[in-house]
Structures are given as structure tokens and as C-alpha cells.
Amino acid sequence: MSDMLERARELDVADAIAHFRDRFDLPEGVIYLDGNSLGPLPRATRERLHRVIDTEWGEGLIRSWNELPGGGGDWIAMPQRVGAKIAPLIGAQAHEVIACDSVSVNLAKLIGAALSLNPGRNVVLSEPGNFPTDLYMIQGDDRVEQRLAQRDRMIDALDEDVALLLLTHVHYKTGEMFDMAALTKAAQDVGAIVLWDLSHSGGAVPVDLNGANADLAVGCGYKYLNGGPGAPAYAFVAERHHGDFSQPLTGWFGHAQPFAFSDEYEPAEGVKRLLAGTPPVLAMAALESGVELIAEIGMEALVAKSRALSEFFRECVADLDLDLVSPRDPAQRGSQLSFRHQNAYALSQALIARGVIGDFRDPDILRLGFAPAYLRFGDIAEAARHLAQVLETGEWQQPEFQERAAVT
């Protein structure tokens, strides 16, 4: 392990984006390997929220819905503005992405949009073990017939009854990544629309929605985009569908002229019609700050370091009794490594007690995220050392590590 610590020091010296760690507010003594669940606090976000609260809300009051004379405000445009900043991170045009609501709500809207684009079909195809909310949103629409197929049979399950193929690009448990371009083409060849969930992709792995000819996508703001707990999500609709789709949540902010207060709904142009209610201004401001930081670092540098971090961790734990369930090829997985262990929950709690924060996914997955914007190779070597000690000493067997919390 001493050799790995020395290598880590060398890698940290050579790391071209190491200085961005100082742009995050990270607690002392913590190695944070859970940015795949909740990103840490960017320092600029605290400053931004103070400005929005004290100046835009405190002084500008309701005037801040429009742009203030000295700059700031313009809350009304936040969903489009933040969406436009997310767009380059996922291979989309600025006018194809909007920040709004949650992933779950946006899934409901885009399932409806897919049905409107594909009249006469009602089958939504996904996979067993997809993130539950994706499946629940399919099941909650009584117009839809759900069909599930294993990954190796997905293309065979596509036929002319399928209205929509709904898949998560990077699997939340294993980190395995679908071939977006190949599956999109296979679905479109039988006339289906494709909706990609980018919750574990956006800001973490290369995504090129337009390059893959994707139709629809959703993603979340609180993981790799560091938008804060409960941050707004985002939604993508390819430009070619802008004039044709409808969605079921026809709220007033999605109206073509919301302040005309008409009795009759008239959808706004393009992705703006995905809006429903009033945007959460404080949460949107926090998300914008996080997105700006990730955009400043750049996806190419982030992806390269993420893969280097996870590969270095694999080397560090190569001799441990762990069953890797993530793909070994870093180009085939997200920014995480997942290990199967019958006592994964207790292991995760023992690590947290040592200041190494990863997470657990039922029933037996220890999941560790390698968000590259703030992690050091030294953190990775130390995390591996702690994991080795927890396994060697059996300290995970202590009673306090067996009790399940409400959030696991």
C-alpha cells in the first residue's frame, strides 16, 4: 500500500485539474466517494445564494422576475438559461434543453410526449432492474403497456408495437453503460421514440445526444452537476420534435403567453412547453452555479480523470475479496465502481465511520463514486487502505453497522 500512496502523490502532482478541488467546500477528514448520489457544495454556490436572497429577493422583491437595471434577477428566464448551460455537457443545442421539476416528473411528461409523437402505439420497453422511478412512471400511465427485456435481448424485443424505448444510459447499481447510438438506431428503425435517463451520465461521462440522434432525455442536477439536494432536473427534446409533441402537465408556465391569463391552454414553443409551475428560484440558482463550475472544468478533462481515478482504485483493491460487478473497461461504465458483498451495507457504514463516504444499494452492492472535480488520487489510495482494514479486521460486524437508516 505504501507504493500506491507514493504513486498517488505523483499522480496528484501531475493532475491538470487538481486545483478545482479548492472550489468546493469539503469537510476536513472526509473522503467523499458519493458524488454519484449528491455532489458537494461549490463555494460559489453559497455566494450566489446570498446574492439572490439578499439582493434579488430582499431588495428587488417581485421586480426580480424581470432583469434588474443593475443586472441580476431575470428569474423568468432561468429554466431556459440553465438548460442552455447544461446542453453542451450532453451534446445538445441550447434551445433543446430546459431545467425544470424532478427526473420523475420529467419522465412522466416525456412518456406522454412520446405517445403524442407515436399515435397508435402504446408499448413502452425498458429493462428489469432499471431505476425504480423510471419503471414506476411507466406503470403510472394507464395508456401504457409495459414491456421489459434483458439487455442482451433488448433489440429483439423491439417491434412495431413499441411506442417508446426508455433506458438509463448508465445503470445506477452497476455503472454499466448502454451503447446510446446503437440502441437509438435500432429503436428508430422500427418506428419507436427513444428516451434516455442521463441521471448517472450528465457531467460524468461522454454524452452526445445529437450525435446519437436521440429523441428525448432527462437528467438530474444534484449528482455530478453539484446543484444541491433536490436540485431541479433537466429535459431534452430534439429540435425535430419541437412543433409536434404535447405533454400531459399543461401548467401555466408552459403556456405560450402565461401572463395573458387565458382560459384556454396554448403550448409554448419548443421545450418551454415542458414547464408546468413556477420555477424554484433558489434551487435553480444553486444548480446554475454548479453547472457553470463543471462547464469551466470541461467534460474531456473530467472524463479522463474519472477513468484514471477508478482504474487506480481497482489497482489498489486488486487483492481484496471483492466481487466487481461494474464493467472492467472504464469506457463501458459510468464514474463509479460497484462491488457485490453479502455484507455491503455494514461495510459501507464502517467506512463512513472512518470518514470514507460511499453508499449502498440493496441488496448487496457497495457503490463508490469517482467524481473527478474534487477527488485526489491520494483520497483514492486512502479509501482503499481503509476498505482493506475494514475487511481484514472485521469491524463491519459491529452491531451499530448492521442497523439500517431510513435512507440507505
SS3 193: strand
pTM: 0.97
First-last CA distance in the chain: 30
Q: How far apart are CA 49 and CA 228, in angstroms?
A: 12
Cell of 133: 422511478
- The rounded distance, in Å, linking the Cα atoms of 337 and 326 is 6
Is omega for the bond preceding 258 within 30 degrees of 0, making it cis?
Answer: no
Nearest to 65 by CA among 284, 274, 316: 284
Average the pLDDT over 242-254 and give the result: 98
- Give the list of residues 6+ apart from residue 397 with CB closer than 8 angstroms, or none: 343, 346
Enter the DSSP assignment of 27: -
Domains and CATH numbers, the chain: 2-32+298-401 (3.90.1150.10), 48-296 (3.40.640.10)
Separation of CA 216 from chain center: 15
Q: What pLDDT score does 2 carry?
A: 72
393 is written with which cell numbers? 479486521
**pLDDT tens sequence across 344-390:** 999 999 999 999 999 999 999 999 999 999 999 999 999 999 999 99
Q: What is the DSSP string of 352-378?
A: HHTTEE-EEETTTEEEEE--TTT--HH
Give the model confidence (pLDDT) of 83-134 as tens digits: 999 999 999 999 999 999 999 999 999 999 999 999 999 999 999 999 999 9
The tens digit of pLDDT for each residue in 175-199 reads 999 999 999 999 999 999 999 999 9
> Contact, 189 vs 221, CB < 8 A?
no
Residue 1 has pLDDT above 80, yes or no: no
How would residue 146 be classed by pLDDT, with cut points 50, 70 and 90?
Answer: very high
pLDDT classification of 46: cutoffs 50, 70, 90: very high
Quick one: pLDDT band at residue 306, thresholds 50, 70, 90?
very high
**Per-residue model confidence (pLDDT) at position 70:** 87
pLDDT band at 200 (very low <50, low <70, confident <90, very high): very high
Share of the chain above pLDDT 90, in %: 98
In this structure, how many other beta carbons lie within 10 angstroms of the beta carbon of residue 176? 17
d(CA 115, CA 123): 9
Mean pLDDT score of the chain: 97
Q: Looking at the annotation, which residues are catalytic?
A: 131, 197, 222-223, 367
pLDDT confidence tier of residue 250, bands split at 50, 70 and 90: very high
Tens-place pLDDT, residues 269-300: 999 999 999 999 999 999 999 999 999 999 99
**How many Cβ atoms are within 10 Å of 353's Cβ, its own excluded?**
15
